[in-house]
C-alpha cells in the first residue's frame, strides 16, 4: 500500500478559460481532480490521498473517504514538499497531477506492478505514440523520439520522500521544462541535445544521466495506458476528455 499526493494547485491558463484552478474544471458534472482521487482509491493500492491546492475550494469537493485536503505551495516542488512532510514516513509515495481525469485504477495498478520489478528512488511512466493514437485518435501530445520508439510522458510518479529536498532545485527546472524536449535535454547536458536531435537517445541514457545529476536512481516505466499522460492543459484536451466521458455515460 502507498500514500498518494495529488497536485491540485495549478492556476487555470487562458486557453481553458474555465475558472481559477484547473483542478476544479467541471468534467461530467464533477471537479476534474475528483476523478484522479477516485481512480487512486479504486486501485486498492492507496492508503491515504493528500490533495494539495486551494484548500477552501477543494474542501467543497466530494472525495473518497481516505482523502485529506491541504493548502498547496506556491510552486510544484513546494507543494510536493508540503505533502511529503505530512506523510510522516519515507515510504515510496505516489504523486499525481490533478489534470489527468481519464486515469483508471487499472492504469495505476499496472504502473505499480511494473515499479516492483526494479529498484529505484523515482519511477516515471512513458507511453508510446502509437498507443496514444490508437486509443485516442487525433490527441495532441508532446512526443520525444528515442531509439526504442516515440513516447510521451505520464503524470503519475512513484517517489521516495527523502530525495525531494536534495533534488528540489534541479527537479523544479525539469518539471518547468517537462513539455519542452529541447530545453529538457539542455538541462541534462549538450550530448543529450545532439543525440535527441538525431534520434539516437536511449531510455537507459536518460536514467543514467538523472542518476548523475540528481544523485538518485530513476526508472522509466513503459505503460500501455495512455490515460496516465492525457492531461488537460489546452481546450482540445478538455474537449477530448468531456467527449470521452459522454461516451462512457
pLDDT tens-digit series, residues 92-111: 999 999 999 999 999 999 99
User: In which domain, by residue range, is 65 found?
Assistant: 2-248
First CA to last CA distance, the chain: 30
- Read off the CATH number of the domain in which 147 is found: 3.90.550.10
What is the pLDDT, as a whole number, of residue 78? Answer: 85
Q: What is the mean pLDDT of residues 111-137?
A: 93
Pairing mode, if any, of strands 67-71 and 30-31?
A: unpaired
The confidence band for 178, taking pLDDT boundaries of 50, 70 and 90, is: low
| Domains contained in the chain, number | 1
Residue 225 has pLDDT above 90, yes or no: yes
The yes-or-no verdict on residue 221 having pLDDT over 90 is yes
- Collapsing DSSP states into helix, strand and coil, what is residue 28? coil
Mean pLDDT of 146-166: 89
Q: What is the pTM of this model?
A: 0.87
From residue 240, how far is each of 27, 89, 100, 136, 247 by CA, in Å? 11, 38, 12, 8, 11
Measure CA 200 to chain center.
25
Chain centroid to CA 166: how far? 20
Q: Residue 27: beta bridge partners?
A: 30
Amino acid at each position: 500500500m502507498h500514500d498518494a499526493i495529488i497536485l491540485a494547485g495549478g492556476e487555470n491558463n487562458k486557453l481553458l478559460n474555465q475558472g481559477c484552478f484547473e483542478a476544479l474544471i467541471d468534467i461530467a458534472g464533477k471537479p476534474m481532480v475528483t476523478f484522479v482521487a477516485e481512480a487512486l482509491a479504486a486501485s486498492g493500492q492507496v492508503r491515504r490521498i493528500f490533495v494539495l491546492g486551494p484548500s477552501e475550494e477543494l474542501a467543497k469537493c466530494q472525495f473518497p473517504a481516505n482523502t485529506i485536503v491541504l493548502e498547496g505551495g506556491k510552486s510544484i516542488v513546494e507543494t510536493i514538499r508540503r505533502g511529503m512532510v505530512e506523510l510522516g514516513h519515507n515510504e515510496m509515495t505516489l504523486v499525481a497531477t490533478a489534470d489527468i481525469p481519464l486515469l483508471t485504477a487499472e492504469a495505476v495498478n499496472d504502473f505499480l506492478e511494473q515499479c516492483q520489478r526494479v529498484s529505484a528512488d523515482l519511477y516515471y511512466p512513458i507511453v508510446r505514440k502509437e498507443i496514444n493514437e490508437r486509443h485516442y485518435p487525433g490527441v495532441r501530445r508532446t512526443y520525444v523520439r528515442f531509439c526504442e520508439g516515440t513516447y510521451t510522458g505520464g503524470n503519475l510518479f512513484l517517489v521516495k520522500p527523502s530525495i525531494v529536498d536534495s533534488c528540489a532545485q534541479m527537479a523544479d527546472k525539469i518539471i518547468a521544462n517537462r513539455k519542452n524536449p529541447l530545453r529538457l535535454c539542455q538541462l541534462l547536458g549538450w550530448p543529450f541535445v545532439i543525440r535527441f536531435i538525431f534520434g539516437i537517445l536511449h531510455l537507459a541514457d536518460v536514467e543514467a544521466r538523472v542518476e548523475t545529476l540528481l544523485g538518485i536512481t530513476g526508472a522509466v516505466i513503459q505503460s500501455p495506458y495512455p490515460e496516465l499522460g492525457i492531461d488537460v492543459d489546452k481546450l482540445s484536451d478538455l474537449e477530448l476528455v468531456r467527449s470521452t466521458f459522454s461516451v462512457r455515460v
